[in-house]
Amino acid sequence: MKPIQYKALLCAALLAGVAGVAPAQAQSKIELPSTLAWTAYDVGSGGYNQAVAIGGALKRNAEVNLRVLPGKNDISRQVPLREGKVHFSATGLGASFYAQEGVYEFGEKNWGPQEVALLMASNSDGGLSIGAAGDLGIKTVADLKGKRVAWVVGSPSLNENNTAILSYAGLTWDDVKKVEFSGFGASWDGIINGQVDAAFASTTSGKAYQLENSPRGLVWPTLPHGDKAGWDRVQEKAPFFVPIMATEGAAMSKDKPWEGATYPYPILLSYKSQDEKLVYNMTRAMIDYFPDYKGGAPGIDGWALDRQILKWVVPYHPGAVKVFKEKGVWTDDMQAHNDKLFERQKVLKTAWAKMKDVDAGDKEAFEKKWMAARNAALKEAGFNPIW
């Protein structure tokens, strides 16, 4: 299993034969509302810091004001997007992949599978994994056994990511001490304050740098790429993870890379129903203004067009696809993959519609019925249920 190489992926896409590439021509002016609103992770997180830097580029290039609303967890970031109070969300797996799949908090009666769609995502040289206090002698994931690990209430992405990373060493939550926190930021403050020993984050998160510079210090437990069994366990639970030799972030550098894991973060998300013209122009702005916000925050260079993973686990919005076609990076194979992901969403939506008359009074019983219905529908349609 090889670490991810973004430019190699793009070159392969170009060689595969581009679908529907528009002829070279002068593009129209980017048109966006005078005020845009995004939700993002907590203040101080990598996603929030990047959104602020992108907002600066939007202001300088298009006189667009970007309002960034921080949310403590997946639900608090997703509610404003679902209700149309923000245009987009710079989010993580919970509000994208888990929301699409209708699992965890998104499997409750008032949610269900969401028809979400991507614009772009950041694929930086940083990683995403469990970070730990540096004063405990932790070096590998196996060393987390018996340690205190953060559980963020209402954030299935963070918690299940921890589950997947722990599984690399054959560990479960029964092998560690679960400590609950109200939000991402609080969980990392908890490490600094001695309340917990480890939590999930991007290596470029502001909170990771804070821990690195605290008396406790920071270490990222390694996930050696040569351990195929370990990586099989991770990807069985979390197919979105890929190995990486990370060089960007706290407690690492190009001279001291970290052998670990990653996935796209943050992910710029909308609903499939979002206006195609708005998505088209937002995606163009992300690409065309990239030179202006490049280097503006840790991890932000991962938004470059040549770093995009255009075949992932959540589909791209048609408005974004139109831009990728104009840029000459969208292939027939990518279109087929994207269509299949939208088909998966349709299967999930149909299965959920049959749950409307199921009593949700007993949350556990409702969840069991939904997961059974979900798995049956996906298997019948030829999809892997994953859960």
Listed in sequence order, the residues at least 6 apart from 218 whose beta carbon sits closer than 8 Å to its beta carbon are 131, 132, 133, 134, 208, 211, 212, 250, 251
**94 Cβ partners below 8 Å, 6+ apart?**
73, 74, 78, 104, 105, 106, 155, 156, 157, 158
At residue 245's C-alpha, the angle toward residues 241 and 250, to 5°, is 95
Closest CA to 70 of 93, 86, 94, 54: 86
Q: List the alpha helices (DSSP H) in 219-357.
A: 228-237, 276-288, 290-293, 318-327, 332-353
User: Which residues on adjacent β-strands are paired with residue 269?
Assistant: 89, 118
What's residue 6's pLDDT? 53
| DSSP annotation of 77 | H
Q: How many CA atoms lie within 13 A of 153 on its CB side?
A: 5
pLDDT score for 228: 97
- 150 has which bridge partners? 179
Strands 35-40, 88-91: pairing kind: parallel
Best CA proximity match to 323, nearest among 22, 102, 4, 8? 22
Q: Is 374 helix (H, G, I), strand (E, B) or coil?
A: helix
What fold, for 6-15+25-123+265-341? D-Maltodextrin-Binding Protein; domain 2 (3.40.190)
Phi-psi region of 148 (alpha: psi -120 to 50; beta: other; left: phi over 0): beta
For residue 118, the model assigns a pLDDT of 98
- Residue 183: both structure tokens together: 């939000």
Angle at 82 between CA 80 and CA 83, to 5 degrees: 65
Q: Which residues in the chain are classed under CATH 3.40.190.10? A: 6-15+25-123+265-341, 128-249
CB atoms closer than 10 angstroms to residue 193: 11
Residue 144 main-chain phi, psi, to 5 deg: -80, -10
DSSP 321-335: HHHHHHHT--BHHHH
Rounded distance, CA 144 to CA 165, Å? 10
Number of alpha carbons in the 13 Å side-chain half-sphere of residue 203: 30
- For the chain, what percentages of helix, strand and coil (3-state, to nearest 5) are there? 45, 15, 40
Query: Exposure of 323 by Cβ count < 10 A (0-12 exposed, 13-18 middle, 19+ buried)?
Result: buried
CB atoms within 10 A of CB 320: 28
Q: Which two tokens stand for residue 367?
A: 């969840």
Q: Which CATH architecture has domain 128-249?
A: 3-Layer(aba) Sandwich (3.40)
Q: Indicate the pTM of the whole model.
A: 0.78
Give the pLDDT means over successive 10-residue stretches in the chain (387 positions).
Answer: 52 48 61 97 88 97 96 91 96 91 92 97 93 98 98 86 97 98 95 98 92 98 98 91 92 97 94 98 98 93 94 96 98 98 98 90 90 97 92
Dist CA 285 CA 163 (whole Å) = 36
